[in-house]
Chains A and B, each alone.
Chain A
């Protein structure tokens, strides 16, 4: 029995050194040497200052910006989280109904107009950097008006920041909100 415990202790010690220290260090070394931008969080910079990560959503409320999805954690990446409310939760369903109404008002849609599902539901991480193409198209005229841009120019920027399915089949088409809004600021700065 003692011999078994000694072997167990030795194995835990050896594996702690190899898989707990050498392995992550080796991966870090290779990742930092080969693609440090990505390993460091795909940061987006403007005038040399980091303004966020292209993978992490931010909250946008101004009329001149595209708005992200609702977030249970207010886009605080230090503490990721979703609502974790079930599909029959009355509080959540009320929230979704209110968000649907507000979305129509904000974007000048008729009462009862269909609203894309991603615009009124929160993501699991609370940090979803994307919205659907349908959602972006419906917001385009509001953004164009607030910035005094042509609707066509805004739609063109939306298309430019839409990523298709990976390899043509994986995942879903998505618009990166931070990158799109940063491009808008470049094209027609808000005063």
Chain B
């Protein structure tokens, strides 16, 4: 790995360490519920208007079941809204290029995709969606699906922190406060900064220009910066343009790239500190942060190194892939010169570890093990650091599993934060763990056996299998990045991947809420000398081990037939 790679990742970690704890503590006040939060004078009157319009009583608390029903109702209406906007865009305003309505199966896939915070894109942004669909449909879901994920996390933390309680908070209040006090202000600042760095923000259609050699180029327009800011901050990842953050109008310079990469990681890492503050034990938050950072750093170093090492087949042709002062080197197919293998690898690890899914380089063209690493990072279950809210949920579920395994090893009844882990919780943990692999491997196997599904492949051999596996890994984990060679716009893929996204969202969120409800009712026991402390490096290592072993046992055979086989064949 080059000096540039080390210094860029060190700079990113430094900026995260300077910003994430601060934001995390602020968010603990936003979701804490007790006493005042900063900015009440500005935000409270706005929120009261929202509650009045929606006839929500902000003082009333919900049990886990009604919390879940509110979330489902909200997701359902969101789905309808995005679906309708796409189907009707040809007769609605703000459609300067005159795009037609979107096909039903694609519209279903996209509506599910944005409502579940996946942002898998079975369409080309600039050639499918009108400005109105992008703004009023997709950008809105970028905000609210992220705010919904954070709300569930707040409910889970309350479940762990409260004693003998029946309720977890109010979904509508959590949703509103997350969007109004966290996502909107942050996005506004990041969007303006990005526009200042060259990311476009206008309402034009195509501008025709005559190039120096006399050809005609159609330069696109649109409100990109405002969508890019929230797509990164909210773990969404759906691009304004087909090629996402590789497109110069979405990610203009190395500096905009750094800002966007930071924005991808900021909230997921900050939530570790929110957790520590809300359970009134900062050591727990720091331990969670340490676990997330360790896995993310290892994957980042791996991806940067593998892409910088280049493609051995090119060496034989006399192509110079060496890292040198006058070129970035590395394997540059699918990568931009201004980013090179270092910034592309760092981004790949960040976007797959967060369920973000935006890309600044084409993962389909990564070296086999580089692409395999991105896939592996997703099947870890999106916990390093994971998507906004849902990532912390995943890590806490893994922590519960780790205490359970440790408890079995020493023959003590397992506890997490003083609360006993019993059969009811472990059944829910198992449901959480099995849902994602079941749809991922099930649909992948079905695709391999379906002739029309194989016709969508852009690559033959092991790389073709990687394209399918990556697609379902991405959708089942609500990530949204792609091995984009796969033509996923067919009826088969839009439908099965739509289902994978629904399972990946709701079969994980509902067990989490059930766990929260069951934990909230318990009375914590005081810690004794026999209690396993959950803030030590030893416990951190145990959780990382559980994450790696669960993913390894489930996915190693599939990975061996895809990326590993391809690497060996080069």
Point out residues on A near B: beta carbons under 8 Å.
1, 3-16, 18-21, 23-24, 26-28, 30-32, 34-35, 38-43, 49-53, 55-56, 58-62, 65, 69, 75-89, 92-93, 96-97, 100, 112-118, 120-135, 137, 163, 165-167, 169-174, 178, 181-182, 185
Could you tell me the distance in whole angstroms from the C-beta of B487 to the nearest C-beta in chain A? 10
- Establish whether residues A41 and B207, one from each chain, have CB atoms under 8 Å apart when the complex forms: yes
Q: List 23 A-B contacts (CB under 8 A).
A: A1-B73, A8-B77, A10-B53, A10-B56, A19-B230, A38-B200, A41-B249, A50-B219, A52-B219, A76-B218, A77-B220, A79-B124, A86-B365, A86-B459, A88-B462, A115-B318, A118-B337, A123-B334, A128-B337, A166-B255, A170-B11, A170-B258, A171-B338
Interface size class of B (residues with CB under 8 A): 35 or more
Q: How far is the CA of A82 from the CA of B333 in the complex (A)?
A: 8
Q: Distance in Å from the Cβ of B203 to the closest Cβ of chain A?
A: 7
Contact of A124 with B223 at beta-carbon distance under 8 Å, contacts A80-B242, A86-B365, A171-B254 already known: no
Quick one: closest B residue to A61, CB to CB? B213
Complex Cα–Cα for A41 and B66 (A): 47
A87 CB contact (under 8 Å) in B311, B325, B336: B311
Contacts A27-B223, A124-B362 given; indicate if A8 touches B76 (C-beta within 8 A).
yes
Give the distance to chain A from B65, nearest Cβ to Cβ, in Å.
11
Residue B413 lies at the interface, judged by CB distance under 8 Å to chain A: no
**A78 and B126 contact, CB distance less than 8 A:** yes
- Which residue of B247, B328, B329, B483 contacts A125 across the interface (Cβ within 8 Å)? B247
The minimal Cβ–Cβ distance linking B149 to chain A, given in whole angstroms, is 15
Instruction: Report yes or no: B188 in contact with A52, Cβ–Cβ below 8 A.
Output: no
**Interface flags, B27-56, vs A, CB<8A=1, else 0:** 000000000000000000000001001111
17 further A-B contacts with Cβ under 8 Å, apart from A19-B144, A83-B365, A85-B458, are A7-B70, A15-B179, A27-B195, A27-B225, A31-B196, A31-B225, A41-B202, A77-B218, A83-B333, A85-B333, A87-B333, A88-B569, A97-B317, A121-B335, A123-B332, A125-B247, A172-B327
From B133-141, B293-301, B349-357, B421-429, the one touching the partner chain is B133-141
Closest to A40 in B: B202
Given A121-B333, A124-B359, does the pair A56, B54 have CB atoms closer than 8 Å? no
Most chain B beta-carbon neighbours within 10 Å: one of A26, A77, A169: A77
Contact of A127 among B223, B247, B325 (CB under 8 A): B247
Decide if B172 is an interface residue (CB 8 Å cutoff).
yes
**Which residue of chain A is the closest to B563 with respect to CB atoms?**
A86
Residue of B nearest to A129 (CB): B248
Nearest 9 A/B pairs, CB to CB: A171-B254, A10-B54, A84-B485, A86-B463, A31-B195, A124-B246, A172-B340, A20-B136, A132-B327
Taking a contact as CB atoms closer than 8 A, the residue among A13, A79, A181 that contacts B127 in the complex is A79
DSSP majority for the A interface?
Answer: mixed
Complex: how many Å from CA A121 to CA B418?
56
Say if the beta carbon of B221 comes within 8 Å of chain A: yes
Q: Is residue B64 within 8 Å, beta carbon to beta carbon, of the partner chain?
A: no
Contacts of A24 in B (CB 8 A): 135, 139, 223, 226-227
How many angstroms between the C-alpha atoms of A118 and B326 in the bound complex?
A: 12
Residue of B nearest to A56 (CB): B248
Asked if A14 and B317 sit within 8 Å, CB to CB, the answer is no
Q: Does B471 contact A (CB under 8 A)?
A: no
Which residues 249-305 of B sit at the A interface, judged by CB distance below 8 A? 249, 252-255, 257-258
A-contact 0/1 string along B58-102, CB 8 Å cutoff: 000000001001100110111001000000000000000000000
